[in-house]
Structure 1
């Protein structure tokens, strides 16, 4: 693997994907950006810490250290929007979720740069997922891919009001068996947190590209509202106040819920034939 792509192999029928926790921005891109903070503002903060128990369950984890500002490995590589008619960011984002420009005037992203970034960072990430699916399918008839995400709870440009704590995405029911969705929903409903299934977020490219229930590969995306696991001021945030520090005590209830969820994913995979 490369220095920015980390695959930790387990033998359980579960792949846990971390596509948006990276904050590394190569120097050739960094100098053109408005600010280091703005370029990292929309990272899925602390999600890798929150799920660091996954390896102990025998799961395979796949993580990119590259910031989504360089390229978003959870977008359609052709550039087609995953959510037509709704605000979102591109394969190579030019704005933050709040609509703030990422690039300095006169140093904007050239569309001709996108294929190179795709070859360097996007394609290897998905190749790693495919390799781990193939490896685990030699051991297990059923494999679950669990795609980890988080987002600030209130972003008016992207959605109305306050986002539920748990946002389950299954590409509107096509990326995994309904029994897996029901098991994850039950775990969410057993907590103090609220949830929605296939609401504003129905699953990104990872969920849509790799989910193939008929072939024994079930994918599910979990988008967490940040307030469920880290202190969060609802609404606009400024430099110096975001992200807040990771607090294990604050995160414990969410971490316990996520442990139950990943165990349900494993149970589903081991029972499914």
Structure 2
């Protein structure tokens, strides 16, 4: 008999796990189904499937190329080809035969973006929720900040809009530094067998220090918000398909079970709410 597991007192958000392209846009898309899957956070609907295991769980069905929930709604092409809607993939492939118009972008924001952010806000108000995790994956080797070359990434990156110790830099953090350090310790203890010593096992705010979701909701929330990035080399084979194989699903289930234990241990301890430094005189 399977033991029923306790629900995490957490909000889990998976904003880049979808692959759906609206029918009226599909004929203009130049990408294959595999291209679409790889340009999002590949297979994260399976990897972060905490449905039934957490108090609040949200996943976006629309593909990241259609609408990116982790961008400001005013962050758009042509100024930014990687904005709230895309014109290029992360590897530089052109996405649309004809780029989306301003009115099409507005409609996508109204249909997909605004409802998701409203659901996030409502979910964060659930009194049973003690912490929020915005869950992503990252390329094993990706663009370096402020450099032309690409660099190897850590196996995990946790972010609170701060600096590499978790302390505040240029803005208020979305989770206290002590909480970030405790999460780092728990991840390192739990995933020690994955370490290969060529890259850090867990990095804080490097290479990512948190996106629009953690920033916008962290500012308006009384609970901590943490962005979690998992290196795709932990679960994604060199030759990936649109959907994972049975063996790959088993691998992701193992990773998710370990994450569940980390989250449960973290939330079993006292979770400090983020402090608004501007309110301290």
TM-score (norm 2): 0.76
Q: What aligned pairs does 1:9-88 form with structure 2 within 5 A after superposition?
A: 13-37=9-33, 38-53=35-50, 55-56=52-53, 58-79=54-75
**Contact residue 50 and residue 57 of structure 2 kept, 8 A:** no
The CA distance in 2 between the partners of 1:88 and 1:180, in whole Å, is 35
| Number of the residue aligned with 1:221 | 227
The CA distance in 1 between the partners of 2:81 and 2:262, in whole Å, is 28
The CA distance in 1 between the partners of 2:81 and 2:205, in whole Å, is 16
CA RMSD of aligned residues (A): 2.9
| Number of the residue aligned with 2:130 | 143
The CA distance in 2 between the partners of 1:95 and 1:128, in whole Å, is 28
> Residues 243 and 164 of structure 1: is their aligned pair in 2 closer, same or farther, counting only changes over 3 Å?
farther
Are 1:209 and 2:216 matched, yes or no?
A: yes
Q: Deviations over 1:144-176 (max 9, x none)?
A: 110110122123487722211101111114011
The CA distance in 1 between the partners of 2:96 and 2:9, in whole Å, is 41
Q: What aligned pairs does 1:68-217 form with structure 2 within 5 A after superposition?
A: 68-79=64-75, 89-104=82-97, 107-134=98-125, 136=126, 139-140=127-128, 143-156=130-143, 160-172=150-162, 173=166, 174-190=173-189, 191-192=191-192, 193=195, 194-212=201-219, 216-217=222-223
Give the SS at the match of 2:52.
helix
Range with bigger deviation, 217-226 or 180-189? 180-189
TM-score (norm 1): 0.78
What 5-or-longer segments of structure 2 have no aligned partner?
1-5, 167-172, 196-200, 274-281
What 5-or-longer segments of structure 1 have no aligned partner?
1-9, 82-86, 234-240
**Contact residue 69 and residue 113 of structure 2 kept, 8 A:** yes
The CA distance in 2 between the partners of 1:54 and 1:180, in whole Å, is 24
| Number of the residue aligned with 1:261 | 262
Deviation at 1:205, TM superposition (A): 1.0
> Residues 73 and 27 of structure 1: is their aligned pair in 2 closer, same or farther, counting only changes over 3 Å?
same
**Contact residue 76 and residue 82 of structure 2 kept, 8 A:** no
**Contact residue 39 and residue 102 of structure 1 kept, 8 A:** no
Number of equivalences: 244
Where does structure 1 differ by over 4 angstroms across 4 or more consecutive aligned residues? Answer: 156-159, 241-244, 270-273
Deviation at 1:252, TM superposition (A): 5.4
Deviation at 1:263, TM superposition (A): 1.2
Deviation at 1:242, TM superposition (A): 4.5
Q: Deviations over 1:76-116 (max 9, x none)?
A: 122189xxxxx982110111111111012xx1222332222
